Chain A
């Protein structure tokens, strides 16, 4: 696997921090929406939009692009933030999130925002579409990759497994799934609501190659995606182990932050009125420190 150079790592860390800041600000402006999932996936999205994906923000319909399908649409604030910072649209537009007339719908809508591949929100709908795209590209002998991001709670959905089975049967090696393994869903911890483990073995037994990755370590994330490209004859699943709320230590691991915005969250750490300011001031990527800030 290729080693990411220090200046690249520094660049990615700074981007991730910008993206987290934008997530907090846009959710505050919206007054509703999900916080835990988007913050937890900020590093994966940074890696995708700033290093891994073949894409062109100036030409979202570029034929040669890789396709990123967001199956767990409720974490779209992180995708919107990553897209804005990558140049798909002005960063200021993030402040229209979830508002009347905005292109940034509460759950992403393909016909409103160029660069969104599929409209989503209802869980379990992204993977079947990603499988269809992967089959179509193979029929056309096109080399583009399909990336499908999913939630771990989303794995409760039966249709996910129908799609997993088909992808295994057809050996869709142009498809890489990624599960945000943050262990939370709305009603509580995934292993209490509907146990998923052994998740790796489940996918393997359906004919997938599975890679575990630390979803907050850019080198590890990059290794996983490079490995995924190198695997032939099988679809690949990356289980990205992430921490919900990552970046703001006080809300990390807390499922109560799944579906509320800063300013309306549980008050045991910060009063509602202070949540935005506190979160912005405490924001740190990668184990409590931004390496670049310490150099």
Chain B
């Protein structure tokens, strides 16, 4: 099976029945406590969602370093900036819709323009929030954050990567945004899977002796859907690579250009509006450096709605079969050129 051995992914990556699952936000909870154990300056702020954003373990372990903000996300961003001015390293959490959704301008001015060392944690991103419906499904947050200078943007693929990202951003200075999700999703990376800020990782590689026909750039838990799609394509004799784009900004532009050159056809996959997200970021890089046909898998200029997570992923066209379809289509487009 051509999962890239260097990525050290789990053995049963295609076995949906037996693969272990957990929400990515659990990785934040664990990573924050790990980081806080080492760094006294780490403080936590939350706006009346302490347990569901997984800040609870930190708040119970370090009550003196936790501030309950009440339902006041705009104030939370400003207060975090002030804490950072005094040398603290604030992690601030809410649902992504409210932070950085509601408090976007405060994030821009008080955190990014001032270049303060604040870490924004947006949980419950994406339509996979499910029954709560459109008001609670942030599918604009990547766009909102990557457009601000000084901000770095990450979308971990599973719980373990979520933990690594949380720990890594505690070690660098400056504003960061990490997008987490509510639902359980497959844990398909391992502690040994490489992670580095600003680096893309090849998670799936075409079989020996084949060539790359299409490259899929994915982020978040949908990266697993991209892998499921690849195994289908592989069986049809198509050479596929899947690149995990956890680090959306800074982006590994060298890798993006090199992979696109080899394959000549690109699919992007994200649980986000097509407009402004990962796909747009990739298109910006490729159209300036090496234009190739691209198909975008994501939400196409619509609001979310209530439903079960998997129903919604299907409804909005982000299931493995939709990725397969996008790959076939982009390969055809390449051949027409």
Would you give the shortest CB distance from A241 to chain B, in whole angstroms? 20
For residue A74, which residue of chain B has the nearest CB? Answer: B132
Question: A105 near B72 (CB under 8 angstroms)?
Answer: no
Question: B72 near A106 (CB under 8 angstroms)?
Answer: no
Question: A101 near B72 (CB under 8 angstroms)?
Answer: no
A143 interfacial by beta-carbon distance below 8 Å: no
Main secondary structure of the interface of B (DSSP, over half): loop
A193 contacts across to B, CB distance below 8 A:
48, 68, 70
In residues 153-173 of chain A, which contact B (Cβ within 8 Å)?
153-154, 156-158
- Report which of A100, A107, A186 forms a contact with B49, defined as CB distance below 8 A: A186
Question: B132 near A107 (CB under 8 angstroms)?
Answer: yes
Main secondary structure of the interface of A (DSSP, over half): loop
Question: A98 near B131 (CB under 8 angstroms)?
Answer: yes
Question: B306 near A187 (CB under 8 angstroms)?
Answer: no
In residues 153-173 of chain B, which contact A (Cβ within 8 Å)?
none
- Report which of A32, A104, A121, A156 forms a contact with B70, defined as CB distance below 8 A: A156
A215 interfacial by beta-carbon distance below 8 Å: no
A185 contacts across to B, CB distance below 8 A:
48, 70-71
Chain A 174-194 near chain B by CB (<8 Å), digits 1 or 0: 000000000001110000011
Interface centre among B133, B134, B311 (most CB of A within 10 A): B133
Question: B72 near A102 (CB under 8 angstroms)?
Answer: no
A73 to B69, CA, bound (A): 21
B133 contacts across to A, CB distance below 8 A:
98, 105-107, 109, 121
A124 contacts across to B, CB distance below 8 A:
71
A30 to B132, CA, bound (A): 11
A46 interfacial by beta-carbon distance below 8 Å: no
Q: How many A-B residue pairs have CB under 8 A?
A: 91
In residues 15-65 of chain B, which contact A (Cβ within 8 Å)?
46, 48-52
In residues 185-232 of chain B, which contact A (Cβ within 8 Å)?
none
A120 interfacial by beta-carbon distance below 8 Å: yes
A105 contacts across to B, CB distance below 8 A:
133-134, 305-306
A101 to B311, CA, bound (A): 10
B97 interfacial by beta-carbon distance below 8 Å: yes
Question: A194 near B136 (CB under 8 angstroms)?
Answer: no
In residues 237-253 of chain B, which contact A (Cβ within 8 Å)?
none
A187 contacts across to B, CB distance below 8 A:
46, 48-51, 68
A30 to B307, CA, bound (A): 10
A109 to B312, CA, bound (A): 17
Would you give the shortest CB distance from B323 to chain A, in whole angstroms? 21
A185 to B70, CA, bound (A): 9
A105 to B307, CA, bound (A): 9
Chain B contact residues (Cβ within 8 angstroms of A): what range? Answer: 20 to 34
B135 interfacial by beta-carbon distance below 8 Å: yes
B180 interfacial by beta-carbon distance below 8 Å: no
Given known A100-B311, A102-B306, A124-B71, contact A73–B48 (CB-CB < 8 A)? no
Question: B68 near A122 (CB under 8 angstroms)?
Answer: no
For residue A190, which residue of chain B has the nearest CB? Answer: B70
A134 interfacial by beta-carbon distance below 8 Å: no
A152 to B85, CA, bound (A): 32
Chain A 5-38 near chain B by CB (<8 Å), digits 1 or 0: 0000000000000000000000000111100000
Given known A107-B133, A121-B133, contact A100–B306 (CB-CB < 8 A)? yes
Chain B 68-90 near chain A by CB (<8 Å), digits 1 or 0: 11111011000000000000000
B308 interfacial by beta-carbon distance below 8 Å: yes
In residues 112-143 of chain B, which contact A (Cβ within 8 Å)?
130-136
Interface centre among B72, B74, B97, B311 (most CB of A within 10 A): B72
B98 interfacial by beta-carbon distance below 8 Å: yes
For residue B50, which residue of chain A has the nearest CB? Answer: A187
Chain A 138-153 near chain B by CB (<8 Å), digits 1 or 0: 0000000000000001
A33 to B132, CA, bound (A): 8
A73 contacts across to B, CB distance below 8 A:
135
Question: A122 near B131 (CB under 8 angstroms)?
Answer: no
- Report which of B51, B68, B75, B307 forms a contact with A100, defined as CB distance below 8 A: B307
Cβ contacts A to B, 18 pairs, < 8 Å: A33-B131, A100-B305, A102-B306, A106-B130, A107-B133, A121-B132, A121-B133, A121-B135, A122-B102, A153-B70, A158-B72, A185-B71, A186-B52, A187-B51, A187-B68, A193-B48, A194-B71, A194-B72
Chain A positions within 8 Å of B, measured between CB atoms, are 30-33, 73, 98-102, 104-107, 109, 119-124, 153-154, 156-158, 185-187, 193-194
Closest 9 CB pairs of A and B: A194-B70, A100-B307, A121-B135, A156-B70, A98-B131, A106-B133, A156-B71, A105-B133, A106-B132
With A121-B135, A156-B70 already in contact, 13 other A-B pairs whose C-beta atoms are closer than 8 Å: A33-B131, A100-B306, A100-B308, A106-B136, A107-B134, A107-B135, A109-B134, A122-B98, A124-B71, A157-B71, A158-B74, A185-B70, A187-B50
